[in-house]
């Protein structure tokens, strides 16, 4: 096995462990969270939290070098995929990225979104 292959496997394990930690943490405080399946080009994100009133928050989890632009672009694609696959209004689905902070637990992770999404502004 090559060094690159070993590193990629280790990175996938770290990412999966972070996703599991966040899911367990959210559930421990009463959030209705579940893991989403990977679906390739039609990926829907890593986790989803069901909110009151038929709303959903799709979560893309990251345990990697901080790259907010690409992370947010990916989360937006996955938000739209989640809504499309379920036949629900995309306005009922939010997306965020939760980025692990080195040496910190899930409660101290970074949460990324856009000003537009956070304040519910119409797309410009």
pLDDT(32) > 90: yes
* Digit-coded pLDDT (tens) for 4-25: 888 778 778 887 899 999 999 9
* Helix (H/G/I), strand (E/B), else coil: 46: coil
Q: Is 0.85 surpassed by the pTM of this model?
A: yes
Choose which CATH entry (3.30.720.120, 3.40.30.10, 3.40.1350.10, 3.40.50.280) describes domain 3-118: 3.40.1350.10
Could you tell me what percent of the chain has a pLDDT over 70? 98
Could you tell me what percent of the chain has a pLDDT over 90? 78
Show me where the domains of the chain are located: 3-118
Q: Long-range CB contacts (< 8 A, 24+ apart) of 113-119?
A: 113/72, 114/72
* Digit-coded pLDDT (tens) for 64-92: 999 999 999 999 999 999 999 999 999 99
Euclidean distance between CA atoms 83 and 81, whole angstroms: 5
pLDDT(1) > 70: no
């Amino acid at each position: 096995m090559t060094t690159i292959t070993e590193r990629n496997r280790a990175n996938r394990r770290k990412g999966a462990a972070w996703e599991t930690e966040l899911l367990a943490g959210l559930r421990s405080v009463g959030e209705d969270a579940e893991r989403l399946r990977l679906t390739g080009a039609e990926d829907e994100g890593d986790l989803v939290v069901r909110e009151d009133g038929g709303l959903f928050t799709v979560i893309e989890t990251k345990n990697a070098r901080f790259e907010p632009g690409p992370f947010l672009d990916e989360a937006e694609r996955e938000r739209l995929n989640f809504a499309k696959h379920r036949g629900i209004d995309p306005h009922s689905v939010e997306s965020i990225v939760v980025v692990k902070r080195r040496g910190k637990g899930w409660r101290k992770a970074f949460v990324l979104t856009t000003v537009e999404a956070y304040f519910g502004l119409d797309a410009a």
